[in-house]
């Protein structure tokens, strides 16, 4: 049973992903413009010495896992949330150092896509959660991703959907660090529209 350490850059927020590995979760890289906007939002707020969230293809390396398998051991009061629209995904991050935590759907969905920056691998990322299965939502990016890296996005998405269904059936949406028992977000999300973020990009 693999435990994966979680922490923000400054170390105030710490937690664990329990009983997770390449088979139990789903590692993929999302290139959608919403994930990019979230990365720029955090970079605009300031990411200190470690600004990098996006890879060279503007992708965000994430690990999809059941929300109930993620616990926060300290610093929960530093956790906050933003959305790119009234009804968008909840995008969680830490106030202390603007480290992305992950993306969730509503409070009754059993899933979080943990952003790579929040995972502190003790051995290696590949060793703990496997290779990136695929790049998904690549239609909006300009740079060509080599076929060897790209993988099958349709396979990876099908895999996410089947995981989601099985996690929901197994009740893995509770308990949740991010939502109350009634399914309400623990903090009121900050709404910041994509256009506003992208207008104000700061390059370090």
C-beta of 12 vs 181, nearer to Zn ion: 12
Over the range 5-29, which residues count as b (16 or more CB within 10 Å of their CB) and which as e? ebbbbeebbbbbbbebebebbbbbb
User: Shortest approach of Zn ion to residue 15 CB, angstroms?
Assistant: 12
C-beta of 12 vs 18, nearer to Zn ion: 12
Question: Rounded to whole angstroms, what are the CA distances from 151 to 29, 33, 54, 81, 181?
Answer: 10, 20, 18, 31, 37
What residue spans of the chain are helical by DSSP H?
33-45, 125-129, 147-150, 153-169, 194-199
- Where in 160-199 is the site for Zn ion (CB under 5 A)? none
Residue of 5, 12, 18, 24 that binds Zn ion (CB under 5 A):
12
| Separation CA 129–CA 145 (nearest Å) | 22
Establish if 35 lies at the interface with Zn ion (CB under 5 A). Answer: yes
Stretch that binds Zn ion, among 12-20, 38-46, 160-168, 192-200 (CB under 5 A): 12-20
Residue of 2, 32, 186, 198 that binds Zn ion (CB under 5 A):
32
- Where in 46-105 is the site for Zn ion (CB under 5 A)? 94, 96-97
Establish if 157 lies at the interface with Zn ion (CB under 5 A). Answer: no
Question: Rounded to whole angstroms, what are the CA distances from 114 to 146, 148, 182?
Answer: 24, 24, 22
User: Shortest approach of Zn ion to residue 171 CB, angstroms?
Assistant: 26
Positions in the binding site for Zn ion (CB under 5 A): 8, 10, 12, 30, 32, 35, 94, 96-97
């Amino acid at each position: 049973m693999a435990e994966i350490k979680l922490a923000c850059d400054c170390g105030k927020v710490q937690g664990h992903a329990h009983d997770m590995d390449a088979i139990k979760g789903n590692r993929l890289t999302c290139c959608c413009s919403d994930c990019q906007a979230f990365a720029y939002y955090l970079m605009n707020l300031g990411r200190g010495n470690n600004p990098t969230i996006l890879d060279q293809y503007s992708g965000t390396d994430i690990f999809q896992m059941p929300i109930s398998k993620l616990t926060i051991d300290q610093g929960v009061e530093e956790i906050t949330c933003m959305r790119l629209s009234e009804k968008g995904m909840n995008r969680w991050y830490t106030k202390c150092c603007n480290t992305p935590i992950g993306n969730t759907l509503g409070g009754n969905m059993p899933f979080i896509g943990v952003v790579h920056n929040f995972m502190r691998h003790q051995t290696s990322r590949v060793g703990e959660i496997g290779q990136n299965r695929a790049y998904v939502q690549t239609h909006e990016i300009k740079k060509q991703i080599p076929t060897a890296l790209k993988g099958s996005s349709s396979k990876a998405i099908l895999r996410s959907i089947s995981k989601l269904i099985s996690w929901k059936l197994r009740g893995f949406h509770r308990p949740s660090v991010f939502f109350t028992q009634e399914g309400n977000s623990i903090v009121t999300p900050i709404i910041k529209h994509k256009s506003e973020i992208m207008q104000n990009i700061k390059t370090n």
